[in-house]
Amino acid sequence: MISRILNFSKLFLLPHLRWLIITLITGLLTAAASGLGVPLMVKFVFPIVFWDGAGEQPLLMQYIPSLQQIQHSTLLLLACASMPLVFAVRGVAMWGNHVVVNVLGIRILESLRTTVFHHVQQLPIAYLEGQRKGDIVSRIVADTGNVQNVLSHVANDLVKQPITCICAFCAFLYLLFSTGSPEMALVLLFIALAAWPIISFGKRISMRAQQAQAELGELNTVVQQNLETQREIRAYALEPREIADFASASVSYKRNLVKLVKYQRLIIPIMETVTALALSFLLISGKQSGMGLEDFLALAAAMFFTFDSMKKAGQAFNRMNEAQGSLMRLEEILNEENPIADPQNPKQMPPRVRGDIDFRNVTFAYDTGKPVLKDINIHIPAGQIVGLVGPSGAGKTTFANLIPRFYEVTQGSVCVDGMDVRDVTMHDLREQLAIVGQQALLFSGSIKENIALGKPGATEAQIQSAANAARVSIFLDNQPQGIDTVLGQGGAGLSGGQRQRVAIARAFVKDAPILILDEATASLDAESEREIQQELDSLAQGRTTLIVAHRFSTLRNAHRILVFDHGRIVGDGPHDELYATCPLYKELFDRQGAV
Ligand code: ADP
């Protein structure tokens, strides 16, 4: 835990050093006002209030002789005013401390959240595909929220209570040894006894909290999957199964929370019982040693503040243990390394490559370890339009995904214009590529903004010309605000074909030398596909284009076709030649019937 806290502090506390110092100062003031101020008031100021002007002078007057010059009635007034003064100082310092600590907590969490999200953007696609998305969302939103919630509740106690405890304990020791009897020192044993529940429950709380957060992640995953597959759920009447899945995830979450609450709430009654025991011990031994009421009250006040601040520090410590569960889950993401990183000394790519692509002895396996591409050697000259065909699962999409370096080759190399894709930055490499996938992924925002994403800083004229080239314009008339119409999440409000046109316009505006069309029309009906094919053909002109095809009709302009089978290229050539020489190609082609 210590190293985790140190690491966390270096990353997230040091940048806010100024706020930390203010927190410490205000915490110190509050603590001193409570821990020292109140018991010492009882010991030194109360006797002045109850002094009748005759008899032995109160201690404070003996220590500060100048007080003896002040009139008795004025002294009384001053003594009475000092109590609200101590509480006013405590109140102002406490307010300042709470505000500063909360601001600090919010700032720290903001940087933590952003750091984790930033890190997720750099993690390999394979990692993100392997993880349950709901759980990642839960870590970024719920776990940081949990840490923030805990911090805002306990952060001021983390500083204030231990200092109050030390101040009150010092006052207690002073009073004990100046006015008490030696056997009263045995009360210190109770303090040791009080520390036990705090330490003993810490571990369990941390473990339960981590489990509870993991279960919250599971709950999020169930909800996310459920919302994403509503059509299937309704069509196949899967609602009871979904409800059962949710209920079971929810019950496990609840079970852990209940256990967590039990441990958390146990600490207060235990501490309070120990405090009462210590007080009665003090009362009995004080009475036996003939201690006066004001000495006893001062000692009791100091002891109360010692125990009370210890209890609150313990509570804060245990809530921090709860936050630790979340911190560990965030740390898991932050510790996840990206094996696909930019090179230390990247080579400079020209602003616009020609578009030659080479696969040299490429073998590739996903995490499962089974090669899905085997010893591929292929040269695609710039400007060539290449179709990739083959049975499902043969490796076509994987082949295309190696060019933008979404995955790293297991053996061999992939080169663009003779440069290994591992020798240049991913940013430079991906600047040279446009990809249109099966599902056009649109973001919330206007149609225009969605097109402009292809090229940051695109001019109005460039966006308009891309929209015309992709014939987005043909459906803009039906949109309430034309190209400025705001789309829902995922492009809600447009048909599949219309979304695909926006994605094509995005590729047009990017104007990259290499184009990958990965089953770009697979999700469209034949009619929409025919309509869009023309725009795709014109987009491909003059670019090195890879078309992962499920229908041969999309390959009518391909100069060359690569036939994939079980991770190998078993045919390479133009349609006529392959039809005559490659049995697999002939079989696939005949099955579909026509070009
Ligand atoms: P195609 O595009 O020809 O249908 P893919 O390239 O998508 O084929 O898949 C090739 C093989 O790799 C298949 O056996 C598939 O199951 C496997 N595969 C695809 N994506 C992954 C992944 N993310 N993790 C593990 N295996 C995968």
Per-residue pLDDT tens over the stretch 384-410: 999 999 999 999 999 999 999 999 999
Q: Confirm whether 422 is domain-assigned.
A: no
What CATH number is given to the structural domain containing 531? 3.40.50.300
pLDDT computed for residue 24 by the predictor: 80
Asked if 353 contacts 513 with a C-beta cutoff of 8 angstroms, the reply is yes
Asked if 243 contacts 361 with a C-beta cutoff of 8 angstroms, the reply is no
- Rounded to two decimals, the pTM is 0.69
Residues 330 and 452 in one domain: no
pLDDT at 113 over 50: yes
Residues 142 and 253 in one domain: yes
Q: Confirm whether 586 is domain-assigned.
A: yes
The number of the ligand 1 atom at minimal distance from the alpha carbon of 388 is 3
pLDDT at 159 over 50: yes
489 or 139, greater pLDDT: 139
Nearest CA to ligand 1 atom 24: 366
Q: Confirm whether 83 is domain-assigned.
A: yes
Q: Confirm whether 487 is domain-assigned.
A: yes
Strands 385-389 and 371-380: unpaired
Nearest CA to ligand 1 atom 19: 398
pLDDT at 420 over 80: yes
Range with lowest mean pLDDT among 339-343, 450-454, 481-485: 481-485
Q: Confirm whether 351 is domain-assigned.
A: no
Nearest-angstrom CA–CA distance, 62 and 70: 13
pLDDT computed for residue 87 by the predictor: 84
What CATH number is given to the structural domain containing 45? 1.20.1560.10
The number of the ligand 1 atom at minimal distance from the alpha carbon of 126 is 23
pLDDT computed for residue 10 by the predictor: 66
Q: Is 370 in the pocket of ligand 1 (CB under 6 A)?
A: no
Asked if 497 contacts 524 with a C-beta cutoff of 8 angstroms, the reply is yes
Strands 514-518 and 544-548: parallel
Q: Is 390 in the pocket of ligand 1 (CB under 6 A)?
A: yes
Nearest-angstrom CA–CA distance, 115 and 121: 10
Cβ atoms < 10 Å from Cβ of 367: 9
Residues 158 and 36 in one domain: yes
For residue 327, give every residue at least 6 positions away whose Cβ sits within 8 Å of its Cβ, in sequence order, or none. Answer: 4, 8, 143, 147
Nearest CA to ligand 1 atom 25: 366
Q: How do residues 552-593 score in pLDDT, each as one tens digit?
A: 888 888 899 999 999 999 999 999 899 899 999 999 988 876
Residues 325 and 448 in one domain: no
> Could you tell which of 123, 125, 129, 366 is best to mutate to test the pocket of ligand 1, judged by most ligand atoms within 8 Å of the CB?
366
pLDDT at 523 over 90: no
Residues 262 and 154 in one domain: yes
169-177: Cβ within 8 A, 24+ apart: 169/35, 169/302, 169/306, 170/35, 170/36, 171/35, 171/36, 171/39, 171/40, 171/302, 171/305, 172/39, 172/299, 172/302, 172/303, 172/306, 175/39, 175/43, 175/295, 175/298, 175/299, 175/302, 176/299
Nearest-angstrom CA–CA distance, 444 and 158: 42
Domain of 513, in residue numbers: 383-390+432-592
Residues 465 and 323 in one domain: no
Q: Confirm whether 478 is domain-assigned.
A: yes
pLDDT at 261 over 70: yes
**pLDDT class of 179 with cuts at 50, 70, 90:** confident
Nearest CA to ligand 1 atom 11: 393
For residue 401, give every residue at least 6 positions away whose Cβ sits within 8 Å of its Cβ, in sequence order, or none. Answer: 407
Q: Is 438 in the pocket of ligand 1 (CB under 6 A)?
A: no
Asked if 349 contacts 424 with a C-beta cutoff of 8 angstroms, the reply is yes
> Could you tell which of 367, 397, 438 is best to mutate to test the pocket of ligand 1, judged by most ligand atoms within 8 Å of the CB?
397
Mean pLDDT within 99-110: 82
Classify residue 395 as left (phi > 0), alpha (psi -120 to 50) or beta.
Answer: left
Tell me the residue type at 503.
Answer: A
Q: Is 397 in the pocket of ligand 1 (CB under 6 A)?
A: yes
In this prediction, what percent of the chain has a pLDDT beyond 90? 22
The number of the ligand 1 atom at minimal distance from the alpha carbon of 392 is 4
Most distant pair of Cα atoms in the chain: their distance: 125
Q: Tell me the CA distances in angstroms from 477 to 50, 439, 466, 494, one per residue in order.
A: 90, 24, 17, 13
Q: Confirm whether 416 is domain-assigned.
A: no
pLDDT computed for residue 581 by the predictor: 92
pLDDT computed for residue 322 by the predictor: 76
Q: How do residues 142-158 score in pLDDT, each as one tens digit?
A: 888 888 888 777 776 77
Mean pLDDT is highest, among 361-365, 468-472, 499-503, for: 361-365
pLDDT computed for residue 279 by the predictor: 83
Residues 480 and 586 in one domain: yes
Q: How do residues 327-343 score in pLDDT, each as one tens digit?
A: 888 888 888 887 788 89
> Could you tell which of 125, 372, 564 is best to mutate to test the pocket of ligand 1, judged by most ligand atoms within 8 Å of the CB?
372
Q: Confirm whether 417 is domain-assigned.
A: no
Mean pLDDT is highest, among 125-134, 202-211, 234-243, for: 234-243
Q: Is 395 in the pocket of ligand 1 (CB under 6 A)?
A: yes
Nearest-angstrom CA–CA distance, 50 and 412: 93
The number of the ligand 1 atom at minimal distance from the alpha carbon of 567 is 10
Residues 328 and 436 in one domain: no
The number of the ligand 1 atom at minimal distance from the alpha carbon of 401 is 6
Range with lowest mean pLDDT among 412-426, 452-466, 521-535, 573-587: 521-535
Residues 325 and 468 in one domain: no
**pLDDT class of 551 with cuts at 50, 70, 90:** confident
391-396: Cβ within 8 A, 24+ apart: 391/564, 391/565, 391/584, 391/588, 394/564, 394/565, 394/566, 394/567, 395/564, 395/566, 395/567, 396/548, 396/564
The number of the ligand 1 atom at minimal distance from the alpha carbon of 373 is 10
pLDDT computed for residue 595 by the predictor: 43
pLDDT at 594 over 50: no
Q: Is 567 in the pocket of ligand 1 (CB under 6 A)?
A: no
Average pLDDT, the chain: 84
The number of the ligand 1 atom at minimal distance from the alpha carbon of 399 is 6
Domain boundary among 310, 334, 358: 334
The number of the ligand 1 atom at minimal distance from the alpha carbon of 548 is 2
List residues bridging with 415 in a β-sheet. Answer: 358, 420
Q: Is 325 in the pocket of ligand 1 (CB under 6 A)?
A: no
The number of domains in the chain is: 2
- How many residues belong to the chain? 595
For residue 506, give every residue at least 6 positions away whose Cβ sits within 8 Å of its Cβ, in sequence order, or none. Answer: 434, 450, 451, 453, 454, 466
Residues 454 and 319 in one domain: no
Q: Is 420 exposed, middle or buried (0-12, 13-18, 19+ CB in 10 A)?
A: middle
Residues 329 and 440 in one domain: no
Residues 73 and 194 in one domain: yes
Classify residue 530 as left (phi > 0), alpha (psi -120 to 50) or beta.
Answer: alpha
pLDDT computed for residue 378 by the predictor: 95
